[in-house]
A and B are shown apart, each in its own frame.
Chain A
């Protein structure tokens, strides 16, 4: 009885998903248009996919984007988790002020963050390029990770740690055997948030790219004056497919583990 279909709710879900996914499918559909434009579908072609894989400059930019996203997400997750652990230990008053500072970084406009990074890097004499982009991405991702991990820490009962200590666990033991596994979902969520933030950030990245290093968002923006070509559609289609595969693989792995845990019970 519980599983009885809730039609209004289901309809609502379908509408929402349609709104979210239709533009993507629309874009993918036109990546096969031999007419070369985003309207008047003329015929099927794979020309733009061929063009995409021959365009080494664009491929380098895609790889740059991915490596910056992965590395910055990794580093900011590590720093963010340490920060969250520290904030969690604080007294209420200082905790609130530190959290406040953390939130200011999240809500402040990207343009301002980007411009200040540009000024900082150039006055410090750091050459713009891979490292400046990486550093700024790490910086704006840390507050997000902190925010994703803190609630998990709050959920954790203090008696859990007390019990671990009573049973003779060292501080490192408590951290690695109790705390980190407990907050692992928060850490993963933080990592993926940081990853997406880095992938689609334009405003900050625009200011700190240079010396031949560029990311996808900056490149696509600058194409606006000439009209974005369907090669970008093809690229989006490929990225969408890869993302789908990664998500599917994640659920396949996660689903299998759950069954094993269930079996052990």
Chain B
């Protein structure tokens, strides 16, 4: 009994020490104040030194929380219990959240820096008139490949993936919209096609690709490519720009038939407590210099036109990640296809995955 009591006291003392340490750190960080902004963002998707700058400028402390998928974020916001002032969903999720009445319409007069945004990234189908959302980062879906391992291959078109020489070489992304969309694009159809005949054609086309597929993977594609363990992968431009930095043998290309244009967007959820701070923060992050610093840190492409001139030239002049308007003409943004069509996509994707080589 004595030993147990001692152990219990030891645990309680340890807790007290930890509690004091947390309190001290929170104060040192300035988190304990009243005027706070709760930011719900992807992990490592903002330069955290900017949060301190924001606090210096406005006196508002930013509490950062992170999520790892759109769906996970949606669950937390839908259920309430936590008052996020700003969230950063991808485009299809903005659409869904707006439909579910989870977002507040933005008052543009409180965001003077809205003018810094490039007009070609505004007023897109997932949020006409940018009623609910402001683009945060954008990018494309394309092919990342290893020039050294495939010296005589040149990827320009989706069709190049079907080359029999690429047997067991390609990594696909584990997403139904991405993969079925690639099949549709390869045939010259729209990414948002819901025509049953076209979908089946795309599926048949993909089946023929199967001998070339090495694996259907998630985030580990980055590692496999960078380590030269696979020569070709379908991937997002943000991922590509990072691994290109690490491994100079790699290159990235957006096929000429067209591909997907994606956006991560800033929104204010209905449950927000400190809307004034949220507006101030949005305006802050849209400031040209601040945005440039953030884009340099995150390395994804920024939709902020004014920020580009504060960024290193080798970043902004890289056509692979900052394609010209001419090059983005063929790119499509995902539309919300509705539950039924999405199920159809998932079904076809599952059938494709289960097919034996």
Q: Do residues A222 and B38 form an inter-chain contact, with CB atoms below 8 A?
A: no
Chain A residues 246 to 260 lying within 8 A of chain B, measured CB to CB, are: none
| A64 contacts across to B, CB distance below 8 A | 22
Given contacts A57-B64, A70-B14, A222-B67, contact A177 B82 (CB under 8 A): no
Q: Do residues A63 and B3 form an inter-chain contact, with CB atoms below 8 A?
A: no
Q: Is B113 engaged at the interface, CB distance under 8 Å to the other chain?
A: no
The one of A132, A177, A184, A222 that contacts B68, using a Cβ cutoff of 8 Å: A222
Q: Do residues B11 and A225 form an inter-chain contact, with CB atoms below 8 A?
A: no
| Chain B residue with the shortest CB-CB distance to A125 | B81
| Chain B residue with the shortest CB-CB distance to A63 | B22
Q: Report the minimal beta-carbon distance from A47 to chain B, rounded to whole angstroms.
A: 17
Q: Is A67 engaged at the interface, CB distance under 8 Å to the other chain?
A: yes
Q: Report the minimal beta-carbon distance from B247 to chain A, rounded to whole angstroms.
A: 9
| B48 contacts across to A, CB distance below 8 A | 57
Q: Is A66 engaged at the interface, CB distance under 8 Å to the other chain?
A: yes
| Chain B residue with the shortest CB-CB distance to A229 | B44
Q: Report the minimal beta-carbon distance from B18 to chain A, rounded to whole angstroms.
A: 4
Complex Cα distance, B64 from A223, in Å, reads 13
Q: Is B43 engaged at the interface, CB distance under 8 Å to the other chain?
A: yes
On chain A, the number of residues with a Cβ less than 8 Å from chain B's Cβ atoms is 50
Q: Is B119 engaged at the interface, CB distance under 8 Å to the other chain?
A: no
A31-75 CB mask vs B (1 if < 8 Å, else 0) is 000000111000000000000000011011001101100110110
Given contacts A64-B22, A67-B19, A212-B31, contact A187 B4 (CB under 8 A): yes
Q: Is B227 engaged at the interface, CB distance under 8 Å to the other chain?
A: yes
Q: Do residues A74 and B8 form an inter-chain contact, with CB atoms below 8 A?
A: yes
| B82 contacts across to A, CB distance below 8 A | 127-129, 210-211
| B328 contacts across to A, CB distance below 8 A | none
Complex Cα distance, B222 from A73, in Å, reads 38
The one of B7, B29, B36, B75 that contacts A57, using a Cβ cutoff of 8 Å: B29
B64-103 CB mask vs A (1 if < 8 Å, else 0) is 1111100010011001111100000000000000000000
Interface of A is mostly: helix
Interface of B is mostly: helix
B13-35 CB mask vs A (1 if < 8 Å, else 0) is 01100110110011011010000
Q: Do residues B81 and A128 form an inter-chain contact, with CB atoms below 8 A?
A: yes
| B28 contacts across to A, CB distance below 8 A | 56
Q: Is A170 engaged at the interface, CB distance under 8 Å to the other chain?
A: no
| B44 contacts across to A, CB distance below 8 A | 223, 225-227, 229
| B244 contacts across to A, CB distance below 8 A | none
Q: Is A224 engaged at the interface, CB distance under 8 Å to the other chain?
A: yes
Given contacts A71-B15, A187-B4, A225-B42, contact A212 B65 (CB under 8 A): yes
| Chain B residue with the shortest CB-CB distance to A126 | B81
Q: Is A188 engaged at the interface, CB distance under 8 Å to the other chain?
A: yes
Q: Is A136 engaged at the interface, CB distance under 8 Å to the other chain?
A: no
| B246 contacts across to A, CB distance below 8 A | 37
**B interface, CB within 8 angstroms of A:** 1, 3-4, 7-8, 11-12, 14-15, 18-19, 21-22, 25-26, 28-29, 31, 36, 38, 42-45, 48, 63-68, 72, 75-76, 79-83, 219, 222-223, 226-227, 242, 246, 298
Apart from A39-B227, A180-B1, A187-B4: 19 A-B pairs, beta carbons within 8 A: A38-B223, A59-B25, A63-B21, A66-B18, A70-B14, A74-B15, A122-B81, A127-B81, A127-B82, A129-B82, A176-B1, A211-B83, A218-B66, A219-B66, A223-B66, A224-B43, A224-B68, A225-B43, A225-B45
Closest 4 pairs between A and B when the two form their complex, measured CB to CB:
A210-B82, A222-B43, A222-B66, A223-B43
The 21 listed contacts between A and B (C-beta, < 8 Å) are A60-B26, A60-B31, A63-B18, A63-B22, A64-B22, A67-B18, A73-B11, A74-B11, A74-B15, A118-B76, A122-B80, A129-B82, A184-B3, A184-B4, A211-B82, A212-B31, A212-B38, A212-B63, A224-B219, A226-B43, A226-B298
